[in-house]
Structure 1
Amino acid sequence: MWSQPYDVLIVGAGVVGSALAHALAHAPSSARRKPLRIALLERSLAEPDRIVGELLQPGGVAALRKLGMEDCLEGIGAIPVHGYCVAKTGENVHIPYPDRLEGRSFHHGKFIMALREKAKNAPGVDVIEATVNELIECPFTKRVLGVRATRDGEKESFFADLVVVADGCFSNFRTTVMGKAAAKSATRSYFVGAVLEDARLPIPQHGTVCLVRGNGPVLLYQIEEHDTRMLVDVRAPLPSDLKGFILSNIVPQLPAALHVPIHTALEKDRLRRMPNSFLPPTEQGGYHTKEGSFLVGDAWNMRHPLTGGGMTVAFNDAVILTELLSEVRDLHDWREISGVLHTWHWRRKGLAATINILSVALYDLFGAEDESLEVLRTGCFKYFERGGNCVRGPVSLLAGIAPSPLLLARHFFAVAFYSIWVMFTHARPVPVPGREKPVHAIPRLDEYPVLAVKSVHVFWTACVVFGPLLWTEIRWW
């Protein structure tokens, strides 16, 4: 069966797919007389149940407002988020958002259903429950003409001038669209998730990052009045007994007020997991992408979910793409679309690169695996304790309101130099023979030569963490 042709087909009614469908439908255009006809295809329109995509930074709220979709945050029990709390061995550092900005946290499924309903009510948008099986290509030019999908058990073909693939981190079409140019995702750990009932966070309505010795960080944030999401970063390969691992290795290091809710949650519910993947963006359009199609969202670019920046990047992408595509005269003209994709790729860099680099760099520091990274992690914690611009700058980057990789580099290396200063001047635990607990002492002068050598290694480690991440974002291919 063939459907009538559309202007745009969007595969995947998740965060970016739903937002882009709504935005394109409402975008004014001086280049086209007729409004767009858009098909938004999704395998299942039932409410999804995921453990990530539940925290929207202030920059994401602002982008959602630009898309005319801010009311999707209403009526779903969303909780205002005013910043972060970093907890380490009984100490807490408050990292508030600047200028009284707010983010939002919520149940992922409820937010997605609100986005889909908004898209469904947009003019010219058909939201269709169908499983996309393959892309339809012209046998001669290899241009993508549409998709083949299964709807109500029947095979059906959908055609459009432009096919946008937004089918998420487990994309079935990433390689098909980009071929050899497709980047490969890297998975170093998993988030293991549970919902805690009536848990008390160290600072209410703040995302809480707990630093855990010998393991990755634990992230907690309230997603409804009585529900708090807990995400435990567990390195691959996963232990066979996840609950036992969390109870024995993770829970004792968390704030005492969380122990009972965590035990209750682990007894009542199963643990779910999601891979924490990094997928750098590769430029699309021209010869880099199969003509007539391109990727958006996690199908194309992923970052570590520790900082909760994924949806902020996605909504910002939808804002820029809508603006650029609304000025295209002919969506079938691949040369014109390639120009749009090139412009989009570099216009999004300020925000996307900042959040991408920050997410992986912070994960490397908070999940410190060697001595130099541990020095950097301690220095980062002490840097936040200084307050003032040492907090305002980094949290502005984290919040998605300061899209500047240069500002990120400045604060990252300020942390590196401050970490070296802390190593020389602050007390650290020193084991004493015959005593069970170590004593804390400032390094002696005769230890300085060894610390000087160590400081070089610490700075080199900082360069190794930051440099490759920056290169993946600024390279031209």
Structure 2
Amino acid sequence: MSETLISETHTRERRDLYHEADVVVVGAGVFGCAAAFALANQGRSVLLLERWMHEPDRIVGELLQPGGLTALRKLGLGHCVEDIDAIPCYGYNVIYHGEPCAIPYPGLNEKGEVTHAWGGRGTGGTKQEGCGFHHGKFISQLRKACLGHKNITVVETEVVKTIRGEHTDQVLGVESRTTVNKETGEKKSDYFFGQLTIVADGYDSKFRKQVLETKPVVKSKFYALELVDTKLPLPFHGHVIIGNAFPILLYQIGTHETRALFDVPANIPQASPEAGGVRGYIKNCAIPVLPEAIRPAAEKALADGKIPRSMPNSWLPAVPQTPSGLVVLGDALNMRHPLTGGGMTVAFNDALLLSELLHPDVVPNLEDKAAIRDAMNKLYWRRKNFTSIINTLAQALYSLFAANDRQLRALQLGCFEYFRRGWTDGPAGLLGGIIQRPLVLAYHFFYVAFVAIWMNGCNVIGGPLGFWKLPLALLDAVLILWKACIVFLPVIWREGFQ
């Protein structure tokens, strides 16, 4: 016992006085905190560096899917959703041109499996749930857990660059600027060293380009309003609104607060300066699509005269890394459209997998270059069974819900009809991070495509001169299937096989 205390005291002294640790984590956000906590639980000494430790105020990272909540609990951080006024979420409610359709998360049988993964909707089993919350309150809880961990030292400092060896390209740690006088803003240079440096500095990462050649693809932004004391059509569910506007998300983040996110693609005429800009689009195009009971709260939230806060909707496929003392993870490595709320679910599952692959029994020495490279190669490929589903689903559903041509609108209608007929356990399980089989995703996506083809064919043939329009229906069928392939196959190939 005394030897353990001496060792803990020594490692803390190394962190606090000499800024040396086994692992340096840059960024105390969702992934950074989770990874730091997981590695520290294995006995690793961790330095967690964050530019600002005050409670963040962001409009994303507010909905945690059941699969993410399960991973959070496995990390030992399940308590972080307690005492922050988190609201349970039991599934989704898709409102298509005013017609609602509930899509509950599926229950799990005694084996922990979704019984109707390939079709239908079950009524039994252990019901799954996610939760919504204020992002800042959740992050503060994650940071509090790290601050209280005996193997973690948290430092408020701005990391500015990496430190490399004189004769090798090995990253030894990072250089930062730490404020020493808050009144004058005076800063001093600091240096932090670790056997392994993990960069998790988010979607706007300044270090990504040092390791990766990819850049995020941004085609739209989410603009946010916070609705106060409004009642959702289906309580304790996320809402997706599809109508004569681009997709809108609604979900409760507190007892009195509901988040409304409006997707606004770049350079659309409805949001031009002549049309009143983004505020004009939300007022004239988006709010009229909302359920009538919600419109007054949205109009009140928009009445402050300000442009709503926004976040880019980014797609950034992960790429292999060849670590040399530095790895990039979290949103700095991989992003998807936030339509399906899968970002934190990916982050927590990645943190679990990382801690498994870097466990001291597997990699005793984090300075072992070959072992780290092998671990990161396994991480890249093993995470695909899970992340390829979340990422592909996000990109594909956004293409359908933001349909801008005839074939996509046919697929959009087919998707809603698929849900309306009760074939929801599979899609909801995939969306919630519960089902981790990419083949199930492919099955449901193309089943939706054939439902869309059938419905379109019935509409074409069922009209005047129906039989004579059979060639047109067949041509439509080919075009709809081709569009489905264009939407799905490139993304699943990039996310699952490259």
Give the deviation of 1:85 after TM superposition.
Answer: 0.3
Q: Residue 242 of structure 2 aligns to which amino acid in structure 1?
A: L
Tell me the residue number matched to 2:247.
217
Give the deviation of 1:294 after TM superposition.
Answer: 0.5
Structure 1 residue 160 corresponds to structure 2 residue 194: yes
**2-side partners of 1:142 and 1:149: how far apart?**
19
Q: Which of 131, 137, 142 is matched with 1:115 structurally? A: 142
Alpha carbons of 1:304 and 1:442: their partners in 2 closer, same or farther (altered >3 Å)?
farther
Tell me the residue number matched to 1:370.
405
Tell me the residue number matched to 2:77.
69
Contact 2:414–2:449 under 8 Å retained in 1:
yes
User: How many residue pairs end up in the alignment?
Assistant: 448
Q: Residue 268 of structure 1 aligns to which amino acid in structure 2?
A: D
Q: Which of 230, 233, 237 is matched with 1:199 structurally? A: 230
Tell me the residue number matched to 1:23.
38
**1-side partners of 2:290 and 2:228: how far apart?**
16
Unpaired runs of 5+ residues, structure 2, are 1-15, 108-126, 180-186
Tell me the residue number matched to 1:358.
393
Give the deviation of 1:110 after TM superposition.
Answer: 0.3
Contact 1:365–1:374 under 8 Å retained in 2:
yes
Please give the residue correspondences for 1:183-332 in structure 2 after superposition, counting only pairs within 5 Å.
183-213=214-244, 215-237=245-267, 239-240=272-273, 241-268=277-304, 270=306, 271-285=308-322, 289=323, 291-326=324-359, 327-332=362-367
**2-side partners of 1:363 and 1:410: how far apart?**
18
Unpaired runs of 5+ residues, structure 1, are 28-34, 429-439
Q: TM-score, normalised by structure 2?
A: 0.88
Worse-superposed segment, 404-413 or 444-453: 444-453
Q: Residue 110 of structure 1 aligns to which amino acid in structure 2?
A: K
Q: Residue 380 of structure 1 aligns to which amino acid in structure 2?
A: C
Q: Residue 413 of structure 1 aligns to which amino acid in structure 2?
A: F
Contact 1:54–1:106 under 8 Å retained in 2:
yes
Tell me the residue number matched to 2:172.
145
Structure 1 residue 416 corresponds to structure 2 residue 449: yes
Q: Residue 494 of structure 2 aligns to which amino acid in structure 1?
A: T
Give the deviation of 1:3 after TM superposition.
Answer: 3.4
Contact 1:216–1:233 under 8 Å retained in 2:
yes
**1-side partners of 2:37 and 2:281: how far apart?**
44
Contact 2:337–2:394 under 8 Å retained in 1:
yes
**2-side partners of 1:187 and 1:75: how far apart?**
35
**1-side partners of 2:292 and 2:460: how far apart?**
26
Give the deviation of 1:37 after TM superposition.
Answer: 1.4
Give the deviation of 1:216 after TM superposition.
Answer: 2.1
Q: Which of 449, 455, 460 is matched with 2:477 structurally? A: 455
**1-side partners of 2:318 and 2:19: how far apart?**
33
* CA offsets 1:73-102 (integer angstroms, 9 cap, x no match): 000000000000000121001000111211
Tell me the residue number matched to 1:32.
none
**2-side partners of 1:256 and 1:156: how far apart?**
55
* CA offsets 1:151-182 (integer angstroms, 9 cap, x no match): 1111011111100000000000001123xxx2
Q: CA RMSD in A?
A: 1.6
**1-side partners of 2:35 and 2:199: how far apart?**
11
Q: Which of 488, 493, 496 is matched with 1:466 structurally? A: 488
Tell me the residue number matched to 1:343.
378
Q: Stretches of 4+ moved more than 6 A in 1?
A: none
Contact 2:246–2:286 under 8 Å retained in 1:
no
**1-side partners of 2:235 and 2:469: how far apart?**
43
Give the deviation of 1:330 after TM superposition.
Answer: 0.8
Tell me the residue number matched to 2:120.
none
Q: Residue 42 of structure 1 aligns to which amino acid in structure 2?
A: E
Q: TM-score, normalised by structure 1?
A: 0.91
Q: Residue 172 of structure 1 aligns to which amino acid in structure 2?
A: K
Tell me the residue number matched to 1:404.
437
Tell me the residue number matched to 1:175.
209
Structure 1 residue 136 corresponds to structure 2 residue 163: yes
Tell me the residue number matched to 1:89.
97
